[in-house]
Amino acid sequence: MNALWVLWRILRTGLFLIFVVLLLGGSSLSLGDRTEQVRAFTRDVEFDYISWTLDALWLKLSQSAMGTASYLSPDMRHQVVYDYLELVAELQRTEGQIALVYTDPNIADHQAATVELREELARVVSQRDRIQPVAEAVLQSQISYVAAAFDLSFGGNPFPPVLYHSTPLPMALIVSPRAVIRQDENISLMPDLALDEQVGLEKQIDEAMDVSSLVVNIGGVGVYPTMVQQTTYLDWLSEVVAHEWVHNFLTLRPLGMNYMASPEMRAVNETTANLAGKEIGLAVLEAFYPELLPEAPATNPEPVAPAPAEPPAFDFRAEMNKTRIRADELLAEGKIEEAEAYMEARRVVFWENGYRHIRKLNQAYFAFHGAYADRPGGAAGATEDPVGEAVRALRAQSSSLADFLNRISWISSFAELQQEVQAGSK
């Protein structure tokens, strides 16, 4: 009887996954001539989603058949997640030590000097690989519990089911016209593409097509199961897994189906997923990891003498928003070279103020980052700011997260969203 039950569980899960993949498996990438022009440069370094998805589905199917996580006590489930995160931290520390040896000019034979470190890395990777499926199953069930508590369920379970896998993520090649900030292409590249190869690829595409391009890192991909970057931060992990699940939730409805219909609809999708992901992620911490919640401020704090006046701190979001708005103005006036020179000069300002991760500040940068408008300002410009404001307004008008998602998920244009917000304000 037990063997039959396991077989039935495997068949049931497999059929369900196949059904969901058929629904969610459509590519969001345009297949127009311009895409093919870009792919002439990227085809050899593009990420293989088909192989990754098949491997991830097999992993999740095996995981479901075993059901290991469901037999663990709450304390053990809590501990297995922490054990996994500690192994990830140990892996990252060891990788950092190896990288440090390879940059040391006093070491001639880097290979020999890292033998023990590489053996240690292999041991940690092996341990991580053993515990990762169970830790992922635990976090999936915890997010599912919260989603159901928010009434985001069908028959008591979220639909589609919460499934994710932490993995090295592909990078995204973003392509925008030079004359206007707009994401025309988003092509996934292999995660191990070297920096010099990224720079060379951007240069080839920019020169051949007279566009603005940029290879960017991403935190997750809404395929199914969703792909999420490996991390040691549980608050970030729970939020991103929830964010990508919301994309899967929306994909089955008009809002998600119209993701690529316009820049505004892309911004609506991403802002919605950001808002909902943060709410669900925070609720996961409250329910299962309250020790990670920030301490509440004291209700009656002791009076503190005013500190001496200091120059205002550099406000990244405000400065980035100012940069975007001015760049848009210059481009609208047809001053493309002037806008590009201005953005590069502003990048130097960010560098001087400690933001040294921005390799390029160009049209493609704003086309990608501007769509995440869950907070005012930042990289969003005149196009995205009203979108973010409208999505935030609809959330404020909604009685619950489920009410918000059920309302916004059936919207198929930005005009419909504006009408919905206007009707709710009366």
Q: Is 75 a domain residue?
A: yes
Among 165, 181, 203, residue at a domain's last position: 165
pLDDT, position 337: 97
**Average confidence (pLDDT) over 255-262:** 91
Q: Is 139 a domain residue?
A: yes
Give the max Cα distance, the chain.
75
Structure tokens at 138: 């635990």
Q: Is 413 a domain residue?
A: yes
Among 121, 147, 165, residue at a domain's last position: 165
Average pLDDT over the chain, rounded to whole?
86
> Which residue range forms the structural domain that includes residue 122?
49-165
The confidence band for 371, taking pLDDT boundaries of 50, 70 and 90, is confident
pLDDT, position 249: 93
**Average confidence (pLDDT) over 238-257:** 94
Find which of 89-103, 198-212, 218-232 is predicted with most confidence, using mean pLDDT. Answer: 198-212
Nearest to 367 by CA among 208, 205, 175: 175
Q: Is 259 a domain residue?
A: no
Among 114, 147, 165, residue at a domain's last position: 165
Q: Is 277 a domain residue?
A: no
What secondary structure, in 3-state letters, does the chain show? Answer: CHHHHHHHHHHHHHHHHHHHHHHHCCCCCCCCHHHHHHHHHHHHHECCHHHHHHHHHHHHHHHHHHCHHHHCCHHHHHHHHHHHHHHHHHHHHHHHHHHHHHHCCCCCCHHHHCHHHHHHHHHHHHHHHHHHHHHHHHHHHHHHHHHHHCCCCECCECCCCCCEEECCCCEEEEEEECCCCCCCEEEEECCCCCHHHHHHHHHHHHHHHCEEEEEECCCEECCCCEEECCCCCHHHHHHHHHHHHHHHHHHCCHHHHCCCCCHHHHHHHHHHHHHHHHHHHHHHHHHHCHHHCCCCCCCCCCCCCCCCCCCCCCCHHHHHHHHHHHHHHHHHCCCHHHHHHHHHHHHHHHHHCCCCCCCCCCHHHHHHHCCCCCCCCCCCCCCHHHHHHHHHHHHHHCCCHHHHHHHHCCCCCHHHHHHHHHHHCC
What secondary structure, in 3-state letters, does 63-123 show? Answer: HHHHCHHHHCCHHHHHHHHHHHHHHHHHHHHHHHHHHHHHHCCCCCCHHHHCHHHHHHHHH
Q: Kindly tell me the burial class for residue 129, based on how many C-beta atoms sit within 10 Å of its own C-beta (0-12, 13-18, 19 or more).
A: exposed
**Average confidence (pLDDT) over 218-230:** 89
The lowest-confidence range among 3-7, 277-281, 361-365, 415-419 is: 3-7
pLDDT of 57 higher than 50: yes
pLDDT, position 278: 96
Q: Is the separation of the CB atoms in 161 and 224 below 8 Å?
A: no
Q: What is the pLDDT of residues 86-117, one digit of tens each?
A: 999 999 999 989 888 887 778 888 889 989 99
Q: Is 320 a domain residue?
A: yes
The lowest-confidence range among 23-32, 80-89, 136-145, 394-403 is: 23-32
pLDDT of 25 higher than 50: no
pLDDT of 32 higher than 90: no
Q: Is 335 a domain residue?
A: yes
Domain count, the chain: 2
Q: What is the pLDDT of residues 289-321, one digit of tens each?
A: 999 987 765 555 555 555 555 667 889 999 999
pLDDT, position 83: 96
Nearest to 182 by CA among 412, 330, 381, 38: 381
pLDDT, position 258: 93
Q: Where does residue 413 fall: left (phi above 0), alpha (psi -120 to 50 degrees), or beta otherwise?
A: beta
Q: Is 344 a domain residue?
A: yes
Rounded to two decimals, the pTM is 0.80
